[in-house]
Amino acid sequence: MNPTNIQLIRGFKDILPGETELWQHIERTAITLFEDFGYREIRIPIMEKTELFARSIGEDTDIVEKEMYTFADRGGDLLTLRPEATACICRSYIQHKMAAQDPVRKFYTIGPMFRRERPQKGRYRQFYQIDAEIFGIAAPFADIELIFLLRTLFDRLNVTDTTAHVNSLGCPVCRPRFKAALAQILDQAAPHLCADCLRRKDRNPLRVLDCKVPGCRKAMAGAPSILDYLCDDCRTHFSTVTDTLAKLGVPFEIDKQLVRGLDYYTRTAFEIQTGALGAQSAVAGGGRYDGLIESLGGPAMP
Ligand SMILES: [Zn+2]
Ligand SMILES: [Zn+2]
């Protein structure tokens, strides 16, 4: 056998001196800002039981169906390299019974995440996230604080053309009404939908709304807006978010197609988009997850 040079894995990347200084600058800027806002660092493992992500992100999402690095370890346990941080931090919050001591917590973490996506320009299978979480606050000011914080972070990094895209995904009271209305449109649109959307149509219909395939976008252009189906509490919550963003001078757009690819979001979902990156315009995203901690076996905690 010929010795050949071993190359790094496709979709992975070395970050070399010359570039690492930029990473350090971004990380230090984020750490300073988050700590000034009262967030504290949490470090969580890179691997968790697969069940954690299947139950939180949702079985019928692209991440869980197609993109996770999952394997059986030598003891037979099914393990996954973390595809995102929120579920891991919730697991830690529950496991260390933080709600019993002081339910209101603000955390940040920085590190690699792993998703086996199709490699494309600027996207890697090991990618890095700066993550911030707020626990224990039901009021919309938590949502506003995070969006404001991200806007401030990008300003400090001289990424000044950002716009926050915001939507509400409703709650267990009002979302079923929207899903029922959506189901009718989906049946009519079915002949024009891509194979993924035909599968999503019955199992996870909201995801059809953010499919990027042109045929699907066209077929769904006349779809109802979830904002027309919100219950009174969700509507008040969302209008407080948008009114306050306006008062704070944070540029935003209401984006009724924005659903994000995870099942656990309730009410506010958002993305920060910039014109600086071409088609891949989202540089940050997130949302509220009022039911997630309880669904993972913890207390009912927004
Ligand atoms: Zn609602
Ligand atoms: Zn589609």
Q: Provide the pLDDT confidence category of residue 279 given band limits of 50, 70 and 90.
A: low
Distance 141 CA to ligand 1 centre (A): 17
Distance 14 CA to ligand 1 centre (A): 45
Q: What is the pLDDT of residue 122?
A: 77
Q: What is the pLDDT of residue 160?
A: 86
Burial of 274 (C-beta count, 10 Å sphere; 0-12/13-18/19+): middle
Strand-pair partners of 111: 129
Q: Provide the pLDDT confidence category of residue 128 given band limits of 50, 70 and 90.
A: very high
Instruction: Give mean pLDDT, residues 182-202.
Output: 88
Instruction: Kindly report the number of other CB atoms within 10 A of residue 108's CB atom.
Output: 21
Distance 153 CA to ligand 1 centre (A): 30
pLDDT at residue 39 tops 90: yes
Q: What is the pLDDT of residue 63?
A: 85
pLDDT digits (tens, 9 = 90+) for 280-301: 688 999 999 999 999 999 999 9
Q: Provide the pLDDT confidence category of residue 164 given band limits of 50, 70 and 90.
A: very high
Contacts of 129 by beta carbon, 8 Å cutoff, 6+ apart: 84, 85, 110, 111, 113
Q: Kindly provide the b/e burial profile for residues 7-32, where b requires at least 16 CB atoms within 10 angstroms of the residue's own CB.
A: eeeebeeeeeeeeeeeeeebeebbee
- Mean pLDDT computed over every residue of the chain: 93
CA angle 23, 271, 37 (to 5 degrees): 60
Distance 202 CA to ligand 1 centre (A): 22
Q: What is the pLDDT of residue 280?
A: 65
Q: Pairing between strand 105-114 and 162-168? A: unpaired
Q: What is the pLDDT of residue 276?
A: 77
Instruction: Give mean pLDDT, residues 180-189.
Output: 88
pLDDT digits (tens, 9 = 90+) for 209-240: 888 889 998 888 888 899 999 999 999 999 99
CATH class of 20-173+230-295: alpha beta
pLDDT digits (tens, 9 = 90+) for 61-95: 888 888 999 999 999 999 999 999 999 999 999 99
Distance 217 CA to ligand 2 centre (A): 8
210, 255 Cβ separation under 8 angstroms: no
Of the candidates 268, 209, 11, the residue with the CA atom closest to the CA atom of residue 116: 11
Distance 265 CA to ligand 2 centre (A): 21
Distance 180 CA to ligand 1 centre (A): 15
Instruction: Give mean pLDDT, residues 181-205.
Output: 88
Q: What is the pLDDT of residue 260?
A: 80
Distance 224 CA to ligand 1 centre (A): 16
Instruction: Give mean pLDDT, residues 173-185.
Output: 90
Which CA distances in Å does 161 have to 20, 76, 149, 276, 277? 24, 49, 15, 8, 11
Which ligand is located closest to the Cα atom of residue 234?
1
Q: Is 46 helix (H, G, I), strand (E, B) or coil?
A: coil
Distance 215 CA to ligand 2 centre (A): 7
Q: Provide the pLDDT confidence category of residue 52 given band limits of 50, 70 and 90.
A: very high
Distance 208 CA to ligand 2 centre (A): 6
Which ligand is located closest to the Cα atom of residue 215?
2
The residue ranges of every structural domain in the chain are 20-173+230-295, 175-219
Cα–Cα distance, 161 to 275 (Å, whole number): 7
Identity of the residue numbered 301: M
pLDDT at residue 278 tops 90: no
Q: What is the pLDDT of residue 257?
A: 84
Identity of the residue numbered 215: G
pLDDT at residue 136 tops 90: yes
Q: What is the pLDDT of residue 139?
A: 97
Of the candidates 157, 145, 131, the residue with the CA atom closest to the CA atom of residue 274: 157
Q: Pairing between strand 162-168 and 252-254? A: parallel
Which ligand is located closest to the Cα atom of residue 199?
2
Distance 290 CA to ligand 2 centre (A): 28
Strand-pair partners of 273: 163, 282
197, 211 Cβ separation under 8 angstroms: yes
Cα–Cα distance, 31 to 111 (Å, whole number): 13
Cα–Cα distance, 113 to 123 (Å, whole number): 12
Q: Where are the alpha helices (DSSP H) in 169-266?
A: 175-189, 195-203, 214-219, 232-248
